[in-house]
Chain A
Amino acid sequence: MSDTTASNSRSGETIRANPRSSALRAAGPWLLSAAALVALPFIFRSDTYLTVMSLMGIAIVFALSYNMMLGQTGMLSFGHAVYYGLGAYFVVHGMNWAIATRAPIPLPLMPLVGGIAGLGFAVIFGWLSTKRSGTTFSMISLGLAELVGSSSLILRTFFGGEEGITTNRTKLLRLTDWSFGSQFQMYYLIAAWCLISAVVMYALTRTPFGRMCNAVRENPERAQFVGYNPQVVRYIAFCLSGFFAGIAGALAGINFELANANLFGAAQSGTVLLATFIGGIGTFVGPVLGAVLVSYLQVMLSDITEVWQLYFGLMFIAVVMFAPGGLAGLVQMHAPVVRAGVIGRLMPSYLMAIVPALLLLLGVVMLIEMTVQLAVKQSEGPAMKLFGIGFNANQPWPWLLMVVLLASAYALFRLVSPRLSAAWDSARVTAAERGIVI
């Protein structure tokens, strides 16, 4: 299902046909991405945007590294933030050391320190945890994360206790007149590392090892009978994934000029899992989408609601239940219909489905926010504002409205869903008739 899998052999044919055009086609998306990364700060100029885009860049590297395990190799980890957090700690210590000893290491190279730290710990913990696969591996990953988290409270000298440790990124050797003090310059540092990491991680999927990762994900038993030890494949994937998680963590450490225990906490491990899965684990770009969306929502939602994490959780459950391919999976699902030129047939029922979807969203938001107003914000009284409308949460009519919204959403869904599936069937049939494989 991975797009890399499908496109690979296709481009294999074109290489023989016309090497130059295929090289261009392979490089094209990357050149476009690079151009977009360069241009973005000139479109979104404010410091807030620069901060958010920097966070997105870090999140992209982290999510891609996570998907090397989950999406490519089929390993579900609940403790990936360990390598992220350690990457941050080691880079901050490394920077402080470089500042203290005046070591001639410029800041742009520093993320490598985090990467090597992530790799080093992945070599140790990966050796332990890849002894088991499947569900046991997941449980072990959580246990090891707790081990590191708890140890950080004992090794206070290294981890700096509650406050963590700080650094100053402008005090390192400068090769140019950039000090990286501004968020603008910091953004470009992150963007460059993000692009490099993404290219390398993409290239990894197209190596013999990358292919065998997919094979081990699909069928570890069969992989043994083509000569591969699935445990070794998983171990290498774990180590490389730890390396890039370390890079991501190092970028975070440099960006915040701080490393603290939150960076390798369970919440951080959970967020990368959420982002990767919401974006879609079946494709290379899925985690990128997820990282961008989740970083954006984290900033935006936390401004407008106290319980943004609840919305996150609900969104995640909805994706697991109804769109296990994530956002990228939804897009991919429509690709054959678009190629067959029959996407138009789906539009009417999609437009119709928007109405109950909005009603449902509205109802759920009302239910949550009114409950929050009465329970969490008890002291502020029942007066609240939602979508600019003021009302009292202790009166019956908003609750009644909420129930009506949810009920009508349900009724409308029942009405629309047969039409939707009929439209889908007809579109698929036509696509199949036109020779497009679904």
Chain B
Amino acid sequence: MGRASSLPLNLWDGATGNWVVSFGTQHFLIKRRGNVLELVLISTLNGVLYGLLLFLMASGLTLIFSMMGVLNFAHASFYMLGAFVGYQISKWAGFWPGLIFAPLIVGGVGMLVERFGLRNVHKNGHVAELLFTFGLAFVMEELVQIVWGKAPVDYRVPALLDFSAFTIFSTNYPAYKLFMLAISLAIFVGLFAMLTRTRVGLIVQAALTHPNMVAHLGHNVPLIFMLVFGVGAGLAAIAGVIAGPALVTQSTMAGLLGPILFVIVVVGGLGSLSGALVASLLIGLLQTFAISSNVSMADLFSFSGFAPQPNTILNDLWRVSVAQIAPILPYLLLVLMLIFRPTGLMGNRES
């Protein structure tokens, strides 16, 4: 299992040519050119994009949690699986079939997992369910490593979208990112419409506010559970397929993203879709802006002439740049939220 010593921040990498972000366990190097307005525009765009991608996953996680009471630890694993299946299909038949079929396949896998795994564990309570999905995440990472190896795979942006959509000052904004934005927005709007306009949506909403109600609705509960789990997995897979070519498609991607999803769900408020949306965008923007700033305390207070002793913790803190603390920002947000509003932004449910 990977640890979030780094984040999938290659989102800001490469194509723009403006930042060189070598992330990972190593130092990262950030060079910034261009002016402030450019930085703000591009970072906002990227932040919203990252936030919507996070929401694609967080919404599925929230749906599954609200309706089934299951916190799906393996949710990010379905995202990873989506990226790898999408990659495999793209190798055989191109990117577009992958975009369609990978989420369907992963959704199917999700339904099988629910039907033959989770459902049998259900009688042992929510802790057993959580542990089952924890084991599943563990196994899925290993399986992906066996089939596709540990190194990143070469998942390419489709040729059709491999051009620069527009240029702001000196930044060429890639068309593929606009495409990602469009897909995320489309699904977001679709989800919203489904929730507010359809019968299924009403049932889901009832479940969100009254978690114990579903069983009394007289519907085929096991079937609904299976579908919800499948749809949640499929949503995560869509995120994986469209993010795969832009980020690094690697077996560690689930372990890197999973904890951030949990932060989103806690910060947004457990079981609140709108809370998850706000938290997703907040974290997306926060990290994107942080990563593009290499200011440190040492820079800010350089006029003071203060310089801590080398090889002290104070010196570490003094010299660390904002970009370097980007990976821990979601968790700092979590801590702040727990101190000031333990139930989350929009939550009122305990557990």
Contact = CB atoms under 8 A, between A and B. Distances in A.
Chain A–chain B contact at Cβ < 8 A: yes
Nearest to A281: B127
Contacts of B270: 135-136
Nearest to B136: A317
B259 A142 contact: yes
Interface residues of B, number: 59
B142 A310 contact: yes
Given A139-B262, A309-B138, A76 B131 contact: yes
Consensus secondary structure, chain A interface: helix
Contacts of A150: 4-5, 327-328, 331
Q: B127, B270, B320: which has the most chain A beta carbons within 10 Å?
A: B127
B146 A375 contact: yes
Contacts of B135: 274, 313, 316-317, 320
Given A310-B139, A321-B120, A277 B131 contact: yes
A273 B351 CA distance: 21
Interface string B68-111: 00010000000000000000000000000000000000000000
Interface stretch (B40-48, B215-223, B333-341): B333-341
Interface in A141-161: 142-147, 149-151, 153-158
A129 B138 contact: no
Nearest to A74: B127
A128 B339 contact: yes
B266 A136 contact: yes
A158 B313 CA distance: 7
A169 B88 CA distance: 51
Interface string A72-84: 0010101000000
A65 B284 CA distance: 37
Nearest to A158: B313
Interface residues of A, number: 55
A274 B121 CA distance: 17
B325 A154 contact: yes
A138 B127 CA distance: 10
Interface string A368-406: 100110011000000000000000000000000000000
A372 B147 CA distance: 8
A134 B138 contact: no
Contacts of A265: 1, 3
Nearest to B310: A157
B18 to A, nearest CB: 24
B117 A371 contact: no
B158 interface: no
A277 B258 CA distance: 22
B334 A140 contact: yes
A153 B28 CA distance: 11
Q: A136, A372, A375, A376: which has the most chain B beta carbons within 10 Å?
A: A136
Q: A321, A368, A376: which has the most chain B beta carbons within 10 Å?
A: A321
Given A139-B265, A266-B255, A376 B149 contact: yes
B138 A135 contact: no
A156 B312 CA distance: 9
A270 interface: yes
B143 interface: yes
Contacts of B134: 78, 270, 273
B248 to A, nearest CB: 18
Contacts of B145: 307, 376
A147 B332 contact: yes
A154 B135 CA distance: 31
Contact of B3 (A266, A307, A368): A266
B2 interface: yes
A321 B118 CA distance: 9
A134 B262 contact: no
A267 interface: yes
Interface of B: 1-5, 25, 65, 71, 117, 120-121, 124, 126-128, 130-132, 134-136, 138-139, 142-143, 145-149, 255, 258-259, 262-263, 265-266, 270, 311-313, 315-317, 320, 324-325, 327-328, 330-332, 334-335, 338-339, 342, 350-351
Given A143-B330, A146-B328, A320-B121, 4 more contacts: A137-B351, A266-B2, A267-B1, A307-B142
Interface of A: 74, 76, 78, 128-129, 131-140, 142-147, 149-151, 153-158, 162, 261, 265-267, 270, 273-274, 277, 307, 309-310, 312-314, 316-317, 320-321, 324, 368, 371-372, 375-376
11 contacts: A78-B134, A137-B351, A143-B266, A270-B1, A273-B134, A307-B142, A310-B142, A316-B131, A316-B135, A320-B135, A375-B149
Closest 10 pairs (CB-CB, A-B): A134-B351, A147-B331, A313-B139, A310-B142, A139-B262, A313-B138, A317-B135, A150-B328, A316-B135, A266-B1
